[in-house]
Structure 1
């Protein structure tokens, strides 16, 4: 067992990457370092606040690292009256630890079970997910990493993506996807931007590229994670400039809206949801 600010944590190492996870803070990934020891994730404030609990505001918590957002990102109310909280309920849950690489939590707004295993691969790390439920449920999950983005840092998408869709601060406005728009510098200081790829442009990889040549690549099966959001934050909420690539199971941030659109995954007793994210670091 590792300690992170005197809290129990788990460290997992893979080729070129090492990860630290704190179960008592919503299973948060608090550190992701490359083979040179360079940190990719935003660190915590000083002093460190106590772990968030259900009902806490997301922006009032420690606002660092990588959270799992489910069963929604935006707070809302489903057609049956069920309230789902801001950024979901996993980030305020206390996760149980299995063999050190497997952690589990249970939903509180909807009755689902969530499991994440972190495994070493030949090229980095795999985050392997499984969601179960006793009845059929809509389920919107999104990765929520806050990757440090010094000036010149940009997102690289597969070839062929020409347009993206603004959802914050505007909603539904198309934007040309260019090298300039992909950079953190394209967002005015003190503001943020959230865009999604069109559902017709399902991709299976995204890379974060820093101006010093360091890179971090996320990849997945687009049949299981068909949607991708990109959050840019230049001190709008975070304490530093960050970029968050967010592969997800629903389109876009609101579970209630995704259900109305028919663009969200469902989990059922005989149909668990399973997917993986693969992480690799490199240069160029």
Structure 2
């Protein structure tokens, strides 16, 4: 397990990730709160949703298992989460890890950096073969969602297009974006956003910002216990408007040999209003 931290008191941010377990971020402590759902053990040979669902994974090169036009089979939630990552460098407040995927010729690197009240993640995708590789990447942080937790985006609330339990049709926002308005699980996509916020019942919030040029789509997820062991919500900036790479392959950015793609995310935590 690798740990990095910075700041003091309520401004302290501490992150832990496990390079042996797909570099899954298992803990994000900030402002005295653990933000992520627990990360139970899982089977890398199984399906992602049948394993210990929790923490924060890197999902690439697909979310839903699918078969590409050339016959390449992409596994459930990709294969970055199934593999051991190599820690390239690590210090008290920053760490870089990388992995070479098996399903497609792609190397994927992530640098985490913490400072007072903030976590920044920077990514680089590099083609390792002679051809370009379509890139479906999605952040996959599963945040603990006790009663009263809600997802907040811009005003007015953007239109949502359903992905689960049904893909395609528009869906309504849960009441106030809250976990209390969901019965079961709901996954939907929207676009045109560069930030979103998780807010707990006490008003404390975590705001996620991202590189909207590289990540033009946003997946939003509410689950009261269908896939995760406890209620969770997720803010998932992504390169795709669907979970299956095969459904949107012609729309995906392509990682060309010699031309890595780069993008970033940043999280900041605030205190409840007085």
- TM-score when scaled to structure 2? 0.91
Q: Which sections of structure 2, spanning at least 5 residues, go unmatched?
A: none
Deviation at residue 122 of structure 1 after TM alignment: 5.9
Does residue 13 in structure 1 map to residue 1 in structure 2?
A: no
Please say if 1:249 is aligned against 2:249. Answer: no
Instruction: Trace 1:267-278 onto structure 2 (pairs within 5 A).
Output: 267-278=255-266
- Give the Å deviation of 1:136: 0.1
Give the drift of 1:265.
Answer: 1.7
- 1:86 is aligned to 76
Query: What is the number of residues matched between the two proteins?
Result: 262
CA separation in 2, counterparts of 1:77 and 1:169? 21
Q: Work out whether residues 14 and 114 of structure 2, in 8 Å CA contact, stay in contact via their aligned partners in 1.
A: no
In structure 2, relative to structure 1, the CA distance for the partners of 1:283 and 1:35 (3 Å cut) is closer
Match of 1:157 among 127, 134, 153: 153
1:143 counterpart = 2:139 = yes
**What per-residue deviation string (whole Å, max 9, x for no partner) do you get for residues 192-242 of structure 1?**
000111xxx321101000011211111012101100000111010111000
Aligned residue in 2 for 1:71: 61
Cα shift readout 1:18-39 (whole Å, capped 9, x = no counterpart): 1101000000000001132x11
Match of 2:36 in 1: 41
> Residue 258 of structure 1 contacts residue 264 of structure 1 at CA under 8 Å; is this kept in 2?
yes
Structure 1: 5+ residue runs without aligned partners? 1-8
User: Quick check: 11-20 or 241-250, which moved more?
Assistant: 11-20
Q: What CA deviation, in whole Å up to 9, does each residue of 1:112-142 have, x standing for no partner? A: 0000001134651110000000320111000
Give the 5 Å matches for 1:213-224.
213-224=203-214
Q: Taking structure 1 as the reference length, what is the TM-score of the superposition?
A: 0.88
Q: For 1:104-253, what aligned pairs fall within 5 Å after superposition?
A: 104-121=98-115, 123-133=117-127, 134=129, 135-177=131-173, 180-188=175-183, 191-197=184-190, 201-253=191-243
- The CA deviation at 1:181 is 4.7
SS in 2 for 1:99: strand
RMSD (Å), alpha carbons: 1.5
Shift of the 283–122 alpha-carbon distance from structure 1 to 2, 3 Å rule, reads closer
**Would you say the 8 A contact 2:5–2:115 is kept in 1?**
no
- Deviation, 1:161, is 3.3
SS in 1 for 2:177: coil
- 3-state DSSP class of the match of 2:20? helix
Q: 1:5 aligns to what?
A: none
SS at match of 1:98: strand
Match of 1:3 in 2: none
Determine helix, strand or coil for the equivalent of 2:251.
coil
